[in-house]
Chains A and B, each alone.
Chain A
Amino acid sequence: MMPLALAGSAIAVAGATPSERRMVLRVRDPRSAAEIDDRDGALIRDEGDLLAARARRFKAAVFLEGALLSDNADGFEVTVRLGERFDHLGDGDIVGLDPGSLRLRVLYRRASKHNSFLVTERCNHYCLMCSQPPRNVKDGWIIDEIASCIDLLDPATASVGFTGGEPLLEWRCFIALLAAFRGRLPETAIHVLTNGRAFAAEEVTAAWAALGFQRLTAGIPLYSAVDAVHDYVVQARGAFDDTVLGILRLKDKGQRVEVRIVLHAVTAPRLRETCAWLARNLPFVDHVALMGMENTGFALANQDLLWIDPLDYRADLACGVNVLRAAGMNVSIYNLPLCLLDRSVWDFAVQSISDWKNGYLSECDGCAGFFSSGRPRLSRGISPIAAADLQRTLSGHGVVVGDAGS
């Protein structure tokens, strides 16, 4: 169970202007790509690719290690050499590259249903189980980089997610980015993972609503109906108050809101009550996601505090789902394999783990799988399920928009 490499270093970069701090490159298959942009780089795995790239006058070439001749760089303005771990790259994928440090990030994979853009690493929360621990760094360049690749995206992309950090810390920049995104990808569903606190300010909610996107969803974690518990989980006083207000303001403006609850030893014990509270107080949110924890990032550091075998909250989870359903709410279970769920809630389980980090054990053929990121910790309840049962449940289930990590 190894995740795909979405970040790392190039082996070498040649020809990039030294002044160019970062560059964005769209990887193309030189034999099949239609129109070619200046920012396109031919992906070269063999001699045939090389010939095609030269014939079609690609300005840039991306060489995968182990494939080629020594004089292969001739004729390209820019060449990038990548190790075998980036072998998964394909036509239409986009990478961001720092020619100085050789640092490289895969920004977009065209074939994936789980494209998610990290907007910033900064955050005003410091969640006990954060899978993407925040860093207090100046990283405004990230938004610029995303903005610069918007016109390279495939307009047929079904959905994209934005995550962080907290994307709305610099809310004006971020909302401007969303507006630009929409211009290029009018049909794409957009999911923004945010702690929702910014929406407590009317000004922010008004700007968000003014975008006028039908398919824009704010995915907002709310870990408890008790202020002290939520604030403790996110390590920020006053967070519960802002987040609940933010949700109310968004719904008041008719915006789509998803409430996300990550299940761990602090949140799971009152899951029934939390769901009952949601059903009574926020029945108008568009979706509730009850999520197994990704054992990575801070979740590893806080394992002793947070680890609970999903088997031990199985009954509470089933009850919570049923309470939400009875209130007419849409609810899904993310990140948990069926063998750990009560049979009555199988229909709510969704194949939610992003493809690049979705792992399986040998006995899990065909199921929702696990996180392969971090240090996976397995429940004592993992066991195979009869194939016929599984087929019935998984057929017809959609894929989650945006990443379902915590």
Chain B
Amino acid sequence: MNERSFRPSTPTDYGSDFHDSRSTNLIGRHNLRTRIRLCLLALSALLMLACSGESPGGSTSPTTPAISPTTAGSTSPTTPASPAAAGGELTVYAAASLTQAFEEIATGFEADNPGTTVVYNFAGSQQLAQQIVQGAPADVFASANDKQMGVARDGGKIEPDAAREFVRNRLVVVVPKSNPAGLKELKDLAKPGIKLVLAAPEVPAGQYSVAMLDAAGDPTYGADWKKRVTANVVSYEENVRVVLSKASLGEADAGVVYESDAAGAKGVGRIVIPESLNQVASYPIAPVSGSERAEAARRFVEYVLSEKGQATLEQYGFIPVGR
């Protein structure tokens, strides 16, 4: 009775867990130090993880469409011999903006070259160039600008005269379908308070965007136009595709992307940039020197430059070369 009378006065119910807590205490007490040490060990391992940093930018998407031998045989008149040299995997490092067009080009190329499978690594050109210079196993490099092709060339990974322009691209302003900021023309990018997303200056698309803003500012829209536009920038994305995503999600009021990005995108409206102010992006492609699949690499470059390849690229909003 005496003992029981204490119980109700305590607000928490200790009774039910009493034995449990006691047994954990026995373990806990003796091992407290070991536990803390273990904790810290785990902690330091974790920290190393944190320091190493993840890199979600470079997405590798191997394309493995089924090859039907019947259609393949009939459409490869130029390459009748040496099927052994054509076999295997061809690794193509391509600018992120080429993603959709190159997926289709792979299907066409594989049909023309039975036994060869194209494997892509799509990412920002600057990242690809770095990876290639560091010795990544690329067979072909398709860059979104000459600068990054130059990085790979200076790194000794591309022969001096190997790079050829294979496609062009222009910039366009994209807005969410609902167009929350009510933007109508390029000039409106300076409208105070809008949320503008650009590609980072580290990325070719970002460099072209800056050049476009420079060209459009003085004298067309006034000296401080670029400054006001830059003040509206809420984020510099590390990949031009992310700019498109943020615009189509409605998180940004506007973004500047390539025509080819906007062409295949649902959920965005486009604001055309006047021809005289726009920038023409020139894409070079080249086989990577020292590749074990040099012959297949050369053939891939040929295919991209062929009528078929160019038609595919045009279909995805690119401007074919020679026009």
Q: Do A and B come from one complex?
A: no
